[in-house]
């Protein structure tokens, strides 16, 4: 891990946990299929 990340982790536990959780969960793309959605062939 580089220094910027280490610096972030020295903030209060709560906010860095929340920040890390958000980053881990940032789902930027999602593949979906509507193939054969009702009325769709």
Partner 1 sequence: MTTTTRPRLLDRRLALHPQVALRPEPFGALAYHYGNRKLVFLRHPDIVRVVNSLDEHDTLSDTLRACDIDEARWPSFERALTSLTASEMLHDRTG
Partner 2 sequence: MTALVDQLKGGLDAPICLTWELTYACNLECVHCLSSSGRRDPRELTTDEAKAVLDELQELQVFYINIGGGEPMIRRDFFELLDYSIERGIGVKFSTNGAFIDAEKAERLAAMDYLDIQISLDGTDAVTNDAVRGEGSYDTAIRAMNHLRDAGFGLFKISVVVTRHNVDQLDEFKALADSFGAQLRITRLRPSGRGADSWHDLHPTNAQQRQIYEWLLAHGDDVLTGDSFFHLNALGEEPLPGLNMCGAGRVVCLIDPIGDVYACPFVIHDEFKAGSVRDEGGFARVWKSSELFAELREPQSAGACASCGSYDACQGGCMAAKFFVGIPLDGPDPECVGGHGEAAMLAASASTKPRPMMDHSKPARVATPDRVPVTIGRR
Burial of 16 (0-12, 13-18, 19+ CB in 10 A): middle
Residues 22-41 that bind partner 2 (CB under 8 A): 26-27, 30, 32-41
Residues that bind partner 1 (CB under 8 A): 2, 4-5, 8, 19, 23-24, 26-35
* Cβ 4 to partner 1 shortest distance, Å: 6
| CA neighbor of 23 nearest in space, from 9, 35, 37 | 9
Write out the residues near partner 2 by the rule CB under 8 A.
26-27, 30, 32-41
């Amino acid at each position: 891990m580089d220094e910027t990340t280490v610096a972030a982790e020295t903030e209060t536990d709560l906010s860095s946990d929340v920040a890390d959780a958000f980053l881990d969960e940032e789902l930027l793309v999602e593949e979906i299929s509507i193939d054969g959605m009702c009325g769709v062939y």
